[in-house]
Amino acid sequence: MLFHSPVFLFVFLPIVLLLYFYTSKYSKFAYEYVLIIGGMFFYAWWNIYLSPIIIVSIISNFFFGNLIRNSIQKTFKKKILIISIFFNILFLAIFKYSDFVIQNINYLFNLNIKTLNLPFPLAMSFFTFQTIAYLVDCYDGNIKKTNLTQYSIFIIFFPQLIAGPIVKYNHMMPQFNDEKNRLFNLKNLNLGLIIILIGLFKKIFLADNLAILADTGFTNHQNLEFFGSWLTSLCFTFQIYFDFSGYIDMATGIALLFNIRLPTNFNSPYKATSIINFWQKWHITLANFLTNYIYFPWVKSLKKVSFINIMIIIFFVFVIAGIWHGPSWLYVIFGSLHGVGLITNHVYRKLFQYEMNKYLSCFLTFNYVNLTFVFFRSENLDNSTNIIKGMLGLNGFDFPSYSEDKMYIILILLISMLISFCFKNTYYLIEKFKTS
């Protein structure tokens, strides 16, 4: 069940919303079961046979969290944390990366081990990171008290279940526990509907149309010359942004209907003036997770902290970020290129005092990001190599011929660029609406 599907917008969402506010009038706890049942139904709609996976994850991690919080002995507490994190990573790896590992073993050792072809459960990457953050917060003493019902809501709350943002327990649960948030709020309803419409516009009008030229280009990459390669790469770069940020906008708007505010996940990333700045604006909750739960603990574990050690850690953190996106070496290349970009920014700041012109910085950053997305989208290395060769003019300069039904997509690309570089983002609207 996708956010932009009619069954979600006109059947599922209105029913859950009505039940949420209706039951809140008569019971202090009934709204929790509405959200849990609604979330489970939403999850099962994708594939009912995979539903037990998220149930097992919820129950086992609630148990792990309680063990960690209630343990007095620090050594035992740390052991439980390590075991629980390993359990979650293994759980994710079995479903998402087992075939990738088998394929690489077959290639390296000339074997013929059969792949498992396991189906990948919906949103597993997101709720795994969310769960790990919860367990670490339990270990650090940031989460004092919870119960299975509330923990279930934290994981299964359907607006942020599919594609994030990756939320923290202490950000979400105080909102659910606030009695005022269980009362109908007309202002939040109006704002939520506006944000949902913006998300639908981004997804259906911009992203889905840009995908037509992007898919054509990446499929026929052998024949792409200079202009065709740039159109292909730019269409995908704006497609992925408006697809992802459109979904986040819809998630934000849907959550607002329930009087819940999700954290900011995109903040005009294509206006970034460096790769460092890009990751302060793009998929912000993922960047925060990588920083707080991988980078900082890794740096703290060093016996001697040096600039070189920190740069090495940054590189491997972004290799992890790359492989998190999917089981492919092209995702590793994508993450590695962003790690190299961050290291380059840090080295430049360390060695040079000169501050580059803002517009030139934005231009260079955007084009570097655009280049990395070629690897993100490609099916294989030949695909990405052919497109990059075309972008460099090595395949000629003839303008591609598109049918009339595809020429309008170039106009949509120009509109996408105008929106990305010249307009305020959705979160500006939210903040303005709050203060008006």
Per the CB < 8 A criterion, the answer to whether 385 and 333 are in contact is no
- Predicted pLDDT of residue 215: 93
- Predicted pLDDT of residue 229: 93
Residue 436 has pLDDT above 60, yes or no: no
Q: Report the mean per-residue pLDDT for the chain.
A: 92
- Judge whether 325 counts as a catalytic residue: yes
43: confidence class by pLDDT, cuts 50, 70, 90: very high
Average pLDDT of the segment spanning 21-26:
85
Cβ neighbours of residue 277 closer than 8 Å, sequence gap 6 or more: 365
Q: Which DSSP string do the residues of 222-272 spell out, in sequence order?
A: GG--HHHHHHHHHHHHHHHHHHHHHHHHHHHHHHHHTT-PPPP--S-GGG-
More confident residue, 399 or 47: 47
In tens, the pLDDT along 373-421 reads 999 999 999 999 999 999 999 888 877 777 666 788 999 999 999 999 9
User: Pick the catalytic residue: 4, 171, 325, 346?
Assistant: 325
- Predicted pLDDT of residue 385: 94
Average pLDDT of the segment spanning 58-85:
92
- Predicted pLDDT of residue 118: 86
Percent of the chain at pLDDT > 90 equals 73
End-to-end Cα separation, the chain, in angstroms: 35
- Predicted pLDDT of residue 303: 87
The amino acid at 235 = C
* Separation between Cα atoms, residue 76 and residue 95, nearest integer Å: 29
Residue 292 has pLDDT above 60, yes or no: yes
- Predicted pLDDT of residue 403: 67
Per the CB < 8 A criterion, the answer to whether 88 and 131 are in contact is yes
pTM for this entry: 0.93
Average pLDDT of the segment spanning 5-27:
91
In tens, the pLDDT along 230-277 reads 999 999 999 999 999 999 999 999 999 999 999 999 999 999 999 999
- Predicted pLDDT of residue 355: 84
Using only C-alpha atoms, the chain has a radius of gyration, in whole angstroms, of 23
- Predicted pLDDT of residue 155: 94
Helical pair 329-351 and 381-391, crossing angle rounded to 10 deg: 50
342: confidence class by pLDDT, cuts 50, 70, 90: very high
Closest CA to 268 of 432, 436, 416, 434: 416
In tens, the pLDDT along 119-170 reads 888 889 999 999 999 999 999 999 988 899 999 999 999 999 888 899 999 9
- Predicted pLDDT of residue 311: 96
* Separation between Cα atoms, residue 43 and residue 37, nearest integer Å: 10
- Predicted pLDDT of residue 248: 95
- Predicted pLDDT of residue 434: 63
Residue 34 has pLDDT above 80, yes or no: yes
User: Strand locations in 123-230, DSSP E?
Assistant: none
- Predicted pLDDT of residue 278: 97
Q: Which DSSP string do the residues of 178-212 spell out, in sequence order?
A: -GGGGS--HHHHHHHHHHHHHHHIIIIIIIHHHHH
